[in-house]
């Protein structure tokens, strides 16, 4: 079956631009997670949704970062007024209600110039 998909795969933005990153989870998966992976480091948790409810956003680095999942399926991570330090791979993962394994998408590589 289809896995987690993310788009775009690559995004180049000029500093100060807004960007929107999309995640399509595995169909029927209740939980959705966003992570930020800087070059040479492990992924770091950003935020977590259960259905449409954002239950944890403690990892969002600033108020320029905003995530939503209005219908409990597709999610969008928005970054306003991008800065160079936002350059990273943004990973999305989903999980069913019946297990503890998170399934990851291929990520979106964001480069801020």
25 binds other proteins (CB under 8 A): no
70 binds other proteins (CB under 8 A): no
Q: Which of 44, 52, 85, 97 binds other proteins (CB under 8 A)?
A: 44
Of 12, 43, 84, 110, nearest to 34 by C-alpha is 43
**How many residues sit in the footprint of other proteins (CB under 8 A)?**
25
52 binds other proteins (CB under 8 A): no
**Cβ atoms < 10 Å from Cβ of 81:** 11
Q: For 4-85, where are the E strands, in sequence order?
A: 5-7, 10-13, 19-24, 31-37, 44-50, 53-56, 65-68, 75-79
97 binds other proteins (CB under 8 A): no
Q: Six-digit token pair at 7?
A: 């788009």
6: left (phi over 0), alpha (psi -120 to 50) or beta: beta
Kindly indicate which of the ranges 14-22, 31-39, 69-77, 79-87 contains the residues binding other proteins, using the contact rule CB under 8 A.
31-39
Query: Which residue, 47 or 82, is less far from other proteins as judged by CB?
Result: 47
Using CB under 8 A, list all residues that contact other proteins: 3-4, 31, 33, 35, 40-45, 48, 55-56, 91, 93, 95, 100-107
């Amino acid at each position: 079956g289809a896995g987690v998909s993310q788009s775009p795969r690559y995004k180049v933005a000029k500093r100060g631009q807004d960007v929107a990153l999309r995640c399509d989870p595995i169909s029927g998966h209740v939980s959705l997670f966003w992570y930020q992976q800087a070059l040479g480091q492990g992924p770091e948790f950003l935020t977590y949704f259960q259905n449409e409810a954002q239950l944890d956003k403690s990892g969002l680095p600033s108020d320029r970062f905003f995530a939503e999942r209005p219908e409990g399926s597709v999610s969008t991570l928005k970054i306003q007024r991008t800065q160079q330090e936002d350059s990273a791979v943004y990973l999305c993962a989903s999980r069913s209600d019946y297990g503890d394994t998170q399934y990851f998408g291929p990520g979106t590589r964001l480069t801020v110039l």
